[in-house]
A and B are shown apart, each in its own frame.
Chain A
């Protein structure tokens, strides 16, 4: 059953000098199975919006239909908030700041207990949830949540939500403040949750490169309005407007746009680094009648240059030809390819740019 939001409007501190309109006539339908990304500036209304879905904020105007429940500004009939919150799990920004119990187990059990489940069921869910987030149940269950590392704390907090087994999961900046490794883990966890726990997921993120890795649909908030609501592949046709609004676009899209400016059109549908790599290899195969495997996986600029470029092309790019078995020189050469591949100012424009973009791609991959 889709979630339908109609004409939702919300104003903070109405009728005071601090008055701020956070949402202005928002209409949106979230379908079951959506992997929805929400992007927008701080203060664009996205957080206020998701708090409405969970019944944490009562609508001032407009209405929300969700799981046979109807949220309206009217006082009656009273909405069954417990049903709503067991259906919609909400992971706030920095969720580790909401941990309070003296053991991890008790903290994760807080949600399911509030749902009024039996002790057996609660224990089962807690164990299950802690394992899903990738922690060792036996090892952490009796530890105090405050002793854990940042990434672990966050996973415990997420487990607390998963243990309620929501049909829909909302995450507000799930990777904020984590190191790259912790980010990677959380992103993989979200992907796993999508297939194994809650079929509908909504993620708010500032990092566009992150959100494009899993979302299939992106909603853009700006100035309390929804500006775009598009499938991910379509959104970046509006790159220019997005950048005008001060929003970042994926690095792969930047490369595609830069190439287009220089006369190389790789198409509109490239969003991720993987897409870009494939497109470049396909194009290279087509123009050079070579046969590089586009699914080769991790792309190695050095291997590529040694294997597929002619010595003139290498020279044009400022690359050195070195025998591959000499590992010492090999490493040096790798470094220099990175440097010179971008800096060289010789002719052979199109190849140079393609290689430059590949270089960028390589950085992305790393």
Chain B
């Protein structure tokens, strides 16, 4: 329980940590959108290289960042397999019948599956860099600022932000509580780890019930504490930490925007300039063509 790494802040000092949280959120959003526009293997390669560099700058060990993808590995492999089997366009490499169903593995299917897996890992890795380098408080504060325009259409952004920050703040506490209750029930001979799926669920009841009771108790206490201090979310409140943009924040933002422009060029422009060579099943697009031509001209 203590070792869950996804979404956990990693407390070291680095350039990435020091970037304005608003910029980081914007960049991450841009990044997530642009990942879906990457078409060529070269661009994927560039993106991974860039991520590697960013992680190096952020001083978060690779081991820890990679751990965040470990939990989603099953999902990743599962979607890849589904993609391989159920893409029917392209040249069939292998086909077989199951009853009336004809399943064929095509070159496009394989390319698509690989790219999907790459995209997925880019998404997870990229967004985990955000949570590794930004404290939950910074995150919610920044989100509140970014969503401020929504107050004009009567969406209570501040309330939502406080709900989110409280939720984030309670996660470690509840984890600890779960740990404790599990231990207490184990000490009473509860067997929480073995048996089949349904047995396991039933065995978790002695953990879940006290956990819910305590979650409600905590929520109650917190509400009372907020009340006792006359907390009122709708009033104009000042911030303890006021965001201030630094020059480096802007520079890193524009560097990233340049990268996104490159990705779009790759998809809509570069590939269209020259015809793509036929390399059998291997999917060659956009920047790949340049790389291919480059390799060809060097090797003669």
Contact = CB atoms under 8 A, between A and B. Distances in A.
B91 interface: no
Main secondary structure of the interface of B (DSSP, over half): helix
B184 A98 contact: yes
Interface string B179-204: 01101111111110000000000000
Interface in B144-178: none
Given A97-B181, A98-B181, A92 B190 contact: no
Given A17-B12, A97-B181, A160 B3 contact: no
B186 A99 contact: no
B216 to A, nearest CB: 11
**Of residues B180, B188, B213, which shows the largest number of chain A Cβ atoms within 10 Å of its Cβ?**
B188
Interface residues of B, number: 23
A164 B188 contact: yes
B12 to A, nearest CB: 6
Contacts of B187: 54, 56, 85, 89-90, 92, 161
B139 to A, nearest CB: 19
Given A12-B2, A16-B64, A95-B184, A146 B213 contact: yes
A100 interface: yes
Interface in A95-141: 95, 97-101, 110-111, 114-115
Contacts of B79: none
Contacts of B188: 85, 98, 110-111, 114, 160-161, 164
Nearest to A166: B187
Interface string A1-39: 000000000001100110000000000000000000000
B189 A111 contact: yes
Contacts of B46: none
B189 A115 contact: yes
Contacts of B64: 16
Nearest to A95: B184
8 smallest CB-CB distances across A and B, nearest first, come from A114-B189, A100-B209, A111-B188, A90-B187, A98-B184, A92-B184, A100-B206, A56-B183
Given A85-B186, A161-B188, 10 more contacts: A12-B2, A56-B183, A85-B187, A98-B181, A98-B206, A98-B210, A101-B206, A110-B188, A114-B190, A164-B188
Interface of B: 2-3, 10-12, 64, 180-181, 183-191, 205-206, 209-210, 213-214
